[in-house]
A and B are shown apart, each in its own frame.
Chain A
């Protein structure tokens, strides 16, 4: 189990339901490693700012990690984590390896609809 404050996707049904029930989804598929942890941290912070995006994580080596690993958009990836952005169930963007907050918000702002400003307590 990933030690993050994000909601974890652990079954194929959860994965399908997440894509079905949320128009915009960001899934970070990784391990508790140095390239992955910063991305989880960014996602945890953005949950309070992008209320219309579902932020989820998934274990890269878990039983359903293949759902992300085998996506055509990830076929050339050789660096953790694999981060995939879904809109209406379709992949609109995927990245490999560590990403900064600016890189993540750049993708969210480009591919997803207008963000909803939430309030994040310090």
Chain B
């Protein structure tokens, strides 16, 4: 058998992709998991997970490591930090090219690319990342002891992290584009009650300014388009997540916001192609829901292989029933 031909390829190694890999490999399907970063996805961004059933408390890194080891133990081949350079989802045999040279084929593909923190995309942001601009309060908060900082955003993450950053900072200014917050009431109340926090509403960061490190920001008041320049030591950005689906546009059906459209069995509009996890159209994005997606997509993919794929593939997946225990 060609070593580059698998029964299933999973794109993404977050909780959805790793779970899908586990179920596929445990059913004796030759499974390849490809990931463009380190295994674990957004899960590794969480310092402590206390609501994963069966585990009282665990770090995201530890849980990701366990899931990765489980997937490998069941027989998955895992390639991390690779770049997918070509993806052909048409026809019975799908193919994926990695790093411009390695090509893999499979009859079914599960897309679990996850998401990433949204960035502002304004001048100076890339250059001053890590030099005053941060996306992780628990990582970088202590660099801003007794400093003046800005938190950008109006959701739960922004308001909760703003409160958390008051442990370090002298002042925290929340800059939000709307005249109201999207966060839960308790998060808003806690932020409003904190004497170190002030609010700049209906405004956005238009530019980050600084040579070696961030020195100032240019803030636009959106209704009036009036610009003001403010000296600042740090800016933390918490404006939500976006799906990693840019490379899938035109290959599977996506919503306007880039989420993969799926059925209740996590089928995409392309036969043999399934999707799971945070990049799909769904209301709630949790590790537990990603794991559930991974399970459903793997079972659906196995059913697809058994019923729709060529006869020689059916023998490979004959042990599917074994995995449902």
Residue ranges of A at the interface with B (Cβ–Cβ < 8 Å): 3, 31-38, 40-42, 45, 75-80, 95-98, 100-102, 122
Contacting pair B37 A100 (CB below 8 A): yes
B129 CB-CB contact with A under 8 Å: yes
Distance to closest chain A CB from B313 (angstroms): 22
B324 CB-CB contact with A under 8 Å: no
- With a cutoff of 8 Å between Cβ atoms, the chain A residues found around residue B143 in the complex are 78-79
Interface CB pairs A-B, < 8 A, 12: A35-B135, A38-B44, A42-B81, A45-B80, A78-B134, A78-B214, A78-B234, A79-B131, A79-B139, A80-B140, A101-B37, A102-B83
- Which residues 31-57 in B have Cβ within 8 Å of A in the complex? 37-40, 44-47
- With a cutoff of 8 Å between Cβ atoms, the chain B residues found around residue A3 in the complex are 61
- With a cutoff of 8 Å between Cβ atoms, the chain B residues found around residue A79 in the complex are 129-131, 133-134, 139-140, 143
- Which residues 81-96 in B have Cβ within 8 Å of A in the complex? 81, 83
Given the complex of chains A and B, what is the CA–CA distance between A38 and B36 in angstroms? 11
Given the complex of chains A and B, what is the CA–CA distance between A112 and B134 in angstroms? 29
Contact A34 B140, CB 8 Å, known A77-B130, A96-B131:
no
**CB < 8 Å A-B pair total:** 80
Residue ranges of B at the interface with A (Cβ–Cβ < 8 Å): 37-40, 44-47, 59-61, 77-81, 83, 129-136, 138-140, 143-144, 212-214, 234
| Contacts A34-B60, A38-B44 supplied; 17 other A-B pairs, CB < 8 Å | A3-B61, A33-B139, A34-B44, A34-B46, A35-B140, A37-B44, A40-B38, A41-B37, A41-B38, A76-B131, A78-B143, A78-B214, A79-B130, A80-B140, A95-B130, A96-B131, A122-B78
Given the complex of chains A and B, what is the CA–CA distance between A33 and B137 in angstroms? 11
Contacting pair B212 A76 (CB below 8 A): yes
Of A35, A41, A42, the contact of B136 (CB 8 Å cutoff): A35
Distance to closest chain B CB from A119 (angstroms): 14
Contacting pair B136 A33 (CB below 8 A): yes
Contacting pair B44 A77 (CB below 8 A): no
Given the complex of chains A and B, what is the CA–CA distance between A33 and B83 in angstroms? 23
Distance to closest chain A CB from B11 (angstroms): 16
- With a cutoff of 8 Å between Cβ atoms, the chain B residues found around residue A40 in the complex are 38
- With a cutoff of 8 Å between Cβ atoms, the chain A residues found around residue B213 in the complex are 76, 78
Contacting pair A31 B139 (CB below 8 A): yes
Contacting pair A34 B136 (CB below 8 A): yes
Of A33, A36, A100, chain B has the most CB atoms within 10 Å of the CB of A33
Contacting pair A35 B212 (CB below 8 A): no
Contact A33 B47, CB 8 Å, known A77-B130, A79-B131, A96-B130:
yes
Distance to closest chain B CB from A101 (angstroms): 4
Given the complex of chains A and B, what is the CA–CA distance between A76 and B55 in angstroms? 40
Given the complex of chains A and B, what is the CA–CA distance between A40 and B81 in angstroms? 12
Contacting pair A78 B132 (CB below 8 A): yes
Of B45, B59, B81, B131, the contact of A41 (CB 8 Å cutoff): B81
Given the complex of chains A and B, what is the CA–CA distance between A55 and B136 in angstroms? 25
Contact A41 B234, CB 8 Å, known A31-B139, A79-B130:
no
- With a cutoff of 8 Å between Cβ atoms, the chain B residues found around residue A97 in the complex are 129-130, 134, 140
Distance to closest chain B CB from A88 (angstroms): 25
Given the complex of chains A and B, what is the CA–CA distance between A102 and B99 in angstroms? 11
Distance to closest chain A CB from B98 (angstroms): 12
Distance to closest chain A CB from B33 (angstroms): 10
- With a cutoff of 8 Å between Cβ atoms, the chain A residues found around residue B59 in the complex are 32
Distance to closest chain A CB from B144 (angstroms): 7
Of B37, B80, B81, B144, the contact of A78 (CB 8 Å cutoff): B144
